[in-house]
Amino acid sequence: MASTSVTTIGGVVVVTQVIPKDEASIPLQNAGRATTPAPPPPTKTPPSPVKMDEMTTTFMRGQPHALGVVQIIIGLLCILFSLTAAYSWSMIAYSPFALGAAFVVSGSVSVAAGRRTSITLVWGSLVSNIVSVLIGLAGVSYTCWLLAECPPSYRFCDYQSFNQFAETEHLRSRCSQKLWALDVVLYGIIGLFLVLLVLQTCVTIVVCVFSAKAIRLHKPCVMVDHDDYRGLLTAAALEHNSDDALLDVSS
């Protein structure tokens, strides 16, 4: 007769059963005492990395997100500074800074191309940044001219004395001396924008370089016509049959 013993050792249940030779199998006794081990938790497979093509990899090396954000910030600052021309006609010389809207456009296109890289967006980034390079170089030249031409207060005093119909050098000098603080502020702002425009030009050149490299590595998909595809299959089948016939003849 079969006998079963259940022993608990260190939190593990050991079931020992002795079965006679004549009996094939006997169900375990005291099975209710055995504890079923909990199944192991399912392991989460890590997501496979997304493979990018060569064009996208090259374009992302240029950091289009960061450089695009820099362009947008510089463009917005230029637009805000150009609004000072609405305060007085003497500041109309600062209205060309409104062309900084081109920096906002090129930066937005660069950010969009970085988020969802496609050949169309990369081309748009290249073209818009080329335009921004030209505007940036023109802005650097214009800013240098503003710094070298005359003090901002002198231009403002010219406008004031013209309104008073007494445009004399003596009145301009006295007015300029009273507005020395205006010269300090505007010279500081113009100098800051000179640095920002130089930075903008360097940033756009970097984006243009990596955009051009990415376009060169783009591999266009070749569309095959359905009739041409059938013709290629027919030609391949005929060539295969002719090779088989030559083998039969030679054998």
238 or 135: which leads in pLDDT: 135
Sign of CA dihedral 46, 47, 53, 57: negative
Mean pLDDT of the 69-96 span: 87
Whether residue 48 is predicted with pLDDT greater than 70 in this model: the reply is: no
Least confident of 65-74, 108-117, 234-243: 234-243
Whether residue 101 is predicted with pLDDT greater than 80 in this model: the reply is: yes
Mean pLDDT of the 31-37 span: 49
Give the global pTM: 0.62
Written as one letter, the residue type at 25 is: S
What band does 249 get if pLDDT is binned at 50, 70 and 90? very low
**Longest C-alpha distance within the chain, in Å?**
133
Per-residue pLDDT tens digits for 179-191: 777 778 888 889 9
172 or 139: which leads in pLDDT: 139
Report the candidate in 82, 92, 90 with the shortest Cα–Cα distance to residue 157. Answer: 90
pLDDT at 203: 94
Task: Round to whole Å and give the CA distance between 133 and 129.
Answer: 6
pLDDT at 230: 57
pLDDT at 202: 94
At residue 213, the 3 state secondary structure works out as helix
pLDDT at 50: 52
Whether residue 167 is predicted with pLDDT greater than 60 in this model: the reply is: no
**Alpha-helical regions (H) of 6-118:** 54-60, 64-82, 101-115
Mean pLDDT of the 69-89 span: 89
Report the candidate in 170, 174, 169, 175 with the shortest Cα–Cα distance to residue 157. Answer: 175
130 or 46: which leads in pLDDT: 130
**Alpha-helical regions (H) of 88-216:** 101-115, 119-149, 152-163, 169-178, 180-216
Task: Round to whole Å and give the CA distance between 91 and 152.
Answer: 8
Average pLDDT of the chain is 75
Mean pLDDT of the 147-154 span: 76
CB contact at 8 A, 78 and 107 = no
